[in-house]
Amino acid sequence: MLFHYQSSNDKKGIESFVKRLRQQCPEANFDNNLYCMEHTGIYNNHILSLLQINKASIWVEHPIHIKESLGMIRGKNDKVDAQRIALYAYKNRDEVRLWTPKREVIQPLDRLTSTRSRLVKVRKMLQSPLTDSDGFISRKVHNEAKKSCQKTLDALTKDIKQI
């Protein structure tokens, strides 16, 4: 049976989904269902928390695996995506890899690593045009551009070193 219900991605919305699921499918419970979803980083946290508390079987798959497994597809919206994830889970049920949460000590390290990566990327976005333009534009214009970004680059470098 296919069941589709769109809700907000917060605790209230997730609880609304569970309530509606139980109304539509009384036999559905956390014990006898597999909950498959695309990995969307922190945006999975609310549903993962609820499912984990209820000891549900959870399968979190990378979106690329789902997309590649279904071949050439057209159209994209939440309902179609949900159907594709359900089809993927059904077709690949013998290859299920149940999700387990990261250990508490790892979670803050992941957040710090992600933050550091973003800071490095932003610093490179600012630094690259300055480096690449050297010798191609007048020295005066180059120095003005460099000067306008220097405090930001210094602050980014300092923040990166602190992480």
Mind giving me the DSSP string for 70-86?
Answer: T-S-----HHHHHHHHH
62, 95, 128 — which closes off a domain? 95
Examine the pLDDT at 145 and tell me if it is beyond 70. yes
Amino acid 2: pLDDT: 72
The fraction of the chain above a pLDDT of 90, given in percent, is 60
Q: Is residue 148 part of a domain?
A: yes
Amino acid 26: pLDDT: 85
95, 116, 147 — which closes off a domain? 95
pLDDT average, residue stretch 1-5: 77
Q: Is residue 100 part of a domain?
A: no
Q: What angle do CA 87, 90, 95 make, to 5 degrees?
A: 125
56, 72, 95 — which closes off a domain? 95
- Gap between the Cα atoms of 42 and 19, Å rounded: 23
Task: Give the model confidence (pLDDT) of 96-144 as tens digits.
Answer: 999 999 898 998 999 999 999 999 999 999 999 888 888 888 989 988 9
Q: Is residue 3 part of a domain?
A: no
Which amino acid, residue 20?
Answer: R
Amino acid 20: pLDDT: 92
Helix (H) or strand (E) holding 27: none
Q: Is residue 23 part of a domain?
A: yes
Other CB atoms within 10 Å distance of the CB of residue 56: 19
Q: Are residues 124 and 146 in the same domain?
A: yes
Report whether 65 contacts 89 (CB < 8 A).
no
CA atoms within 13 A on the CB side of 83: 10
**Residue range(s) defining the domain that contains residue 36:** 11-95
Q: Are residues 124 and 72 in the same domain?
A: no
Q: Is residue 66 part of a domain?
A: yes
- Gap between the Cα atoms of 64 and 121, Å rounded: 23
Q: What pLDDT band is residue 75 in, cutting at 50, 70 and 90?
A: low
pLDDT average, residue stretch 63-78: 79
- Gap between the Cα atoms of 43 and 111, Å rounded: 14
What mean pLDDT is reported for the chain?
A: 90
